Chains A and B, each alone.
Chain A
Amino acid sequence: MSYLILRLKKKLIFRLNLSAIVPDKIKNKQNNLKNINIFYGNEEKKLSDFFSFQGKLNKGIVFKGNLSKCDYIGDSMKEGEIIVNGNVGEYLGNKMENGKIIINGSSGNFTACSLKGGDILIKKNVGDYLGSPNQEEKIGMSGGRVFVQGHAGNRLAFKMRAGVIFVKGDVKNYIASQMIAGTIIINGKIGSNLGLLMKRGTIILKKKCILPSCFQYSGKNNYLFLKIYQFYLEKLNSEFKNIFPTNYVTKFVGDISCAGKGEVLILN
């Protein structure tokens, strides 16, 4: 078997910190998995108190069960895969550097916090502060790719520095506040207050919307880089086929209140 399968065997009352259960952190501890310490609330417990084990860690870890109170999955991950067949808690992929995480459910707040590299795919919804900084960090996501097939919450890409976020559904308010750079692509509707204090970076919107007054109209033109981006995304996932049917789009620049040079490109 290529994956180590961890099945949650009890209902959680407090939050469970799974930051220690990452492929590169446990690959040398496979003989002693049961005794790995994890925090349940503010108490240190053994991994075997919560999970049953099956298989061997070759490619990665598969979590089964309702992990909506399990936080820090994929924390600082450097290699391998994590697959979760269900929902997960907060801080998914926190400071992740490489590897792949697939969530066959929804993810909580602070997903892809300070993400540096790798891929995160969330098949349902995601909470607030996707791609934002960790509490002690000055910048948010600085690399990697996050794909959300459902909806996202507030404060998406807060202080984002690099990387790409794609949201297939709708996004709530305060997208890309203080964004520094990177690319956000939103298929669905957006909430209010997009791009406040945005310095640079690109937001691509598939649907027409009303932008805040701090964004100025900058004409319509052909943006060739969209085609290059499309070819790149198509290679990652066939779902991105023809994601930008045209590269003749409307551009807004802002946030002009802080001399920002961020751009919002609207496809329709």
Chain B
Amino acid sequence: MIINGIKIENTFAEAFPMKAVRLIITAETKYWVLKAVESMTGFATSVIACGCEGGIEKEMKATLTPDGRPGASVLLFAMDSKSLAKQVLRRVGQCVLTTPTTACFSGLESNEKISLGQSLRYFGDGFQISKKIGNKRFWRIPVMDGEFVIEEKTSIVPAIGGGNILILGSSRENVLKASEIAVKEMNKVENIILPFPGGIVRSGSKVGSKYKNLIASINDVYCPTLKGLTKTNLNKEIESVLEIVIDGIYQEDIIKAIKKGIISVCRKSNKGILAISAGNYGGKLGKYHFHLRKIMT
């Protein structure tokens, strides 16, 4: 399959079941919302060593948030509920609670609940106040700029992590430009995040390593400088590869994001781009397979 001169490889992305949480963070101004959410999702690129994968799903207008102030929704992903619950508390406690004027709300409903304000309320040292509004309980924790309002619990939902596309091109400059355009389009899809910095990962990994203690190492078959040394997947012309990883709540939205990414590269930035591929483990590890050609037909 070739779209605008770019080969769509006959392959698939292999993704895994994960757990996800959505939180809505609000603040007095958009500036402080972004400070809080960027801090919260800053060190959250991969579960390999960050504890979770996180990103800003979308910014929210004041009219759409629970308290009528500017906000943003954030998605956090982890391999299991226990790890996710721990990361949520740490990140909200250290990054959201600390940011001026913020408040924190649950952005999803499900039967699997985890503690949010229920744990963080103790920071109020006995001065915290509980308020039940409707069927939700909120905690008001006194802080130096007034009160920090946080919902008592949030919900965990099943999710998918590790959907991806690989953009292969003749120069680093072209591949980077194409990837940036792809990320911009993919970020418009709801229920997904692109957890790596700027949405792009330059150091895509494989499972395992020659070193016993390492669980992941460089995906050498896609490293252009190792063409002579490894069983490379790259032809002579390919000099750069970048990966875009997608975590999402629903398969359909990951598919939508992959499609948007590929279309945007093929139509808006195909200069020097030779192929679009995807990373997998032979289909034996991950439950979810996103076949590129099937998505594009």
Contact = CB atoms under 8 A, between A and B. Distances in A.
A227 B127 contact: no
Contact of A225 (B68, B69, B140): B140
B147 A225 contact: yes
B131 A225 contact: yes
A166 interface: no
A228 B67 contact: yes
B130 to A, nearest CB: 8
Interface string B105-140: 000000000000000000000010111111000101
A183 interface: yes
A231 B68 contact: yes
A240 interface: no
Nearest to A230: B68
A205 B127 CA distance: 22
Interface string A216-231: 0000011111011101
Contact of A261 (B103, B129, B133, B147): B129
A154 to B, nearest CB: 26
A225 B146 contact: no
14 contacts: A202-B131, A221-B147, A222-B147, A223-B140, A224-B146, A224-B147, A224-B149, A225-B133, A227-B67, A227-B68, A228-B138, A232-B133, A261-B127, A263-B129
A253 B103 CA distance: 23
Given A227-B68, A261-B129, A221 B146 contact: yes
Interface residues of A, number: 17
A7 B69 CA distance: 50
Given A181-B130, A202-B131, A224-B67, 12 more contacts: A221-B147, A222-B146, A223-B146, A224-B103, A224-B146, A225-B131, A225-B133, A227-B67, A227-B68, A231-B66, A231-B67, A232-B133
A229 B134 CA distance: 9
A181 B130 CA distance: 9
Q: Quick one: which of A183, A200, A224 has the most chain B CB within 10 A? A: A224
B68 A232 contact: no
Interface in B41-70: 66-69
Nearest to B105: A228
A228 B66 contact: yes
A200 B126 CA distance: 12
